[in-house]
């Protein structure tokens, strides 16, 4: 199996400045007339008259039903004859008729979301009176897909500032758009938030509810805020967890990532690993843990470790990019810290065996691993991340990758041109090396954006919106939540201190769950901004055979999605 290198790469800037401070460099934005769509389109009767054919999906005990519904490819041109199919899931209360409906989205953007229905139904506070609903947004999952298959990935070392390497990064970023457009059969320009929120409202109407509640994580905060903006009269109790800055362009959200990932790595993981050095053996101080990572990165760049797992059926190449993917991917939840520490120690020993002995010596270390451990390493090397992926990192399957790229590049304007990204990368890389160097790995800098301009979410005239945010979230910086909150009328911000998980509601923090559940079931939000204290990072354990650690919310949602997907194909 080849380690995935096709990355949804996003380089970032601050749109309002369009210049790197102190550099003298500027960049132009996409130009041309933009279509401003301030409200929804009236729905054609043929879409409202459809009768979804609900079928059981997943195991019987999940009580989940799925259906495909038909929607126009372009909501502003419903009579063109170009329709798409959207996959929807639902779970009804075990007894009685639901009095409310709650939709969920796991973010991405582009994350398949059928698993949101059984996940939300598993929350005791919602199980009694809510119909829980999930859906795969247009572009991904069991809905109509887009793809960028074959587009070159960012296999180069983002830290390498050699002009030839920068040329390769620029070429790869520039080739993404034509690959995506050519292979997505005309759907690509219509994979954006303006179209998706109208899909959501069609689902609402077909389910027969006037008002929806919402639980959106990560990119789902962006989607939720835009649904509120387009359909304010159908807004119920909205929870936005791990927030983008949905009041600003996408560039602002991603520009904050390098700082946040670096903070999570240096201030959460490294001190934790040092505290348990006797067991983890990565260094007895945070500085030494980080040095272990940097030394290993240099060695894997000098001599990648290419090993066969599972009796030669799977081949994995560990180089500096693979290492960066593993580290950044494990920052999302503290429950992955122990696995990361174990993997870093394994890769250090593997690299040392290869350097001091030979590739055969390294392979012997792999062959000596139990098959269960080999399976684990393969799964971790080929998995996607959860929520907003860092720049130049794998996200999930190609449809999710492509949808992520389409939404983030289509929705809002981006600075155009290579110079801006290269200089931004050079400025942020030395400060935040974990992901900062990859700021120029960005298809959006070269994207032919459709002529659409969405209204800016303001929150005016809406019921209270509850925003939930951990202070060390790596993918959505705390600064984004505070920024959006300051401009979003009627919002309440629930901050989780001493915590860095991305995705809080549903088992990360008892205090936060209590406040969110009260809001979702009664509509009662905190009278003012509130905070909960984090519950700490668990000490390393010795897992027993067959023991599974209860996963983070977004990991559990992804598991539910895998369990209920594929039944409608």
Q: Give the count of alpha carbons within 13 A of 422, CB side only.
A: 16
**Given CA atoms 147, 153, 158, 163 in this order, what sign does their dihedral have?**
negative
Among 45-54, 67-76, 309-318, name the one with the lowest average pLDDT: 309-318
Nearest C-alpha neighbor of 102 from the set 202, 213, 204: 213
Among 253-262, 377-386, 471-480, 512-521, name the one with the lowest average pLDDT: 377-386
- DSSP string of 408-472, one letter each residue: HHHHS--EESHHHHHHHHHHHTTTSTTTGGGGG--GGGG----SEEPPPP--TTPPPEEEEEETT
Nearest C-alpha neighbor of 300 from the set 251, 355, 248: 355
pLDDT in tens, 178-233: 999 999 989 999 999 999 999 999 999 999 999 999 999 999 999 999 999 999 99
**Domain 55-146+191-254+454-541+549-564 in CATH 3.40.50.10490:** no
- Reported confidence tier of residue 5, pLDDT bands at 50, 70, 90: very low
CA distance 364 to 5: 26
User: pLDDT above 70 covers what percent of the chain?
Assistant: 90
Query: Any idea where the domains of the chain sit in the sequence?
Result: 55-146+191-254+454-541+549-564, 257-382
- Reported confidence tier of residue 394, pLDDT bands at 50, 70, 90: low
CA distance 498 to 470: 8
- Reported confidence tier of residue 569, pLDDT bands at 50, 70, 90: confident
pLDDT in tens, 292-309: 999 999 999 999 999 999
First-to-last C-alpha distance (Å) of the chain: 25
> Is the model's pLDDT at 508 over the cut of 70?
yes
Residue 191: the pLDDT is 97
Torsions phi, psi for 133 (to 5 deg): -130, 135
């Amino acid at each position: 199996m080849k380690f995935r290198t096709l990355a949804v790469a996003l380089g970032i800037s601050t749109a309002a400045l369009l210049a790197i401070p102190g550099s003298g460099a500027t960049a132009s934005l996409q130009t041309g007339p933009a279509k401003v769509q301030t409200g929804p389109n009236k729905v054609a009767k043929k879409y409202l008259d459809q009768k979804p054919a609900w079928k059981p999906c997943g195991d019987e005990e999940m009580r989940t039903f799925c259906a495909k519904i038909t929607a126009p490819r372009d909501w502003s041109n419903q009579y063109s004859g170009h329709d798409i199919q959207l996959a929807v899931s639902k779970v009804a209360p075990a007894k009685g008729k639901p009095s409310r409906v709650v939709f969920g989205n796991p973010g991405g953007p582009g994350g398949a979301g059928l698993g949101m229905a059984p996940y939300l139904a598993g929350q005791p506070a919602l199980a009694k009176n809510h119909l829980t609903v999930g859906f795969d947004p247009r572009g991904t999952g069991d809905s109509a897909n887009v793809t960028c298959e074959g587009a070159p990935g960012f296999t180069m070392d983002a830290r390498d500032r050699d002009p030839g390497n920068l040329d390769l990064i620029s070429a790869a970023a520039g080739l993404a758009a034509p690959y995506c457009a050519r292979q997505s059969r005309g759907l690509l320009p219509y994979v954006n938030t303006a179209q998706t929120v109208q899909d959501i409202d069609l689902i609402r109407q077909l389910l027969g509810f006037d008002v929806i509640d919402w639980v959106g994580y990560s990119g789902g905060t962006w989607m939720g805020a835009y649904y509120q903006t387009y359909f304010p009269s159908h807004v119920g109790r909205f929870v936005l967890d791990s927030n983008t800055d949905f009041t600003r362009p996408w560039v602002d959200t991603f520009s904050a990532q390098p700082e946040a990932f670096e903070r999570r790595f240096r201030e959460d993981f490294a001190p934790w690993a040092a505290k348990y050095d006797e067991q983890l053996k990565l260094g007895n101080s945070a500085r030494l843990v980080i040095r272990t990572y940097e030394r290993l990165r240099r060695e894997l760049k000098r001599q990648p470790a290419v090993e066969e797992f599972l009796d030669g059926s799977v081949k994995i190449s560990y180089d500096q990019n693979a290492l960066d993917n593993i580290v950044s991917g494990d920052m999302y939840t503290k429950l992955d810290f122990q696995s990361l520490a174990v993997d870093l120690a394994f890769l250090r020993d593997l690299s040392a065996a290869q350097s001091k002995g030979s590739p055969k010596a390294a392979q012997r270390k792999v062959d000596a691993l139990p098959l269960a451990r080999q399976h684990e390493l393969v799964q971790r090397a080929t998995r996607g991340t959860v929520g907003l992926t860092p720049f130049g990192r794998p996200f999930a399957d190609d449809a999710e990758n492509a949808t992520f790229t389409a939404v983030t590049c289509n929705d809002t304007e981006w600075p155009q041109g290579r110079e801006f990204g290269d200089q931004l990368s050079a400025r942020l890389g030395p400060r935040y090396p974990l992901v900062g160097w990859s700021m120029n790995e960005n298809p959006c800098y070269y994207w032919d954006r459709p002529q659409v301009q969405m209204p800016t979410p303001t929150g005016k005239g809406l019921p209270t919106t509850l925003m939930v945010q951990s202070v060390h979230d790596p993918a959505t910086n705390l600064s984004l939540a505070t920024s959006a909150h300051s401009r979003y009328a009627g919002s309440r911000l629930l901050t989780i201190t001493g915590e860095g998980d991305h995705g809080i509601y549903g088992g990360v923090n008892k205090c936060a769950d209590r406040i969110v559940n009260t809001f979702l079931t009664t509509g009662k939000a905190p009278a003012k901004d509130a905070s909960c204290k984090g519950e700490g990072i668990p000490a390393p354990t010795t897992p027993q055979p067959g023991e599974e650690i209860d996963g983070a919310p977004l990991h559990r949602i992804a598991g539910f999605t895998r369990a209920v997907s594929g039944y409608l194909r």
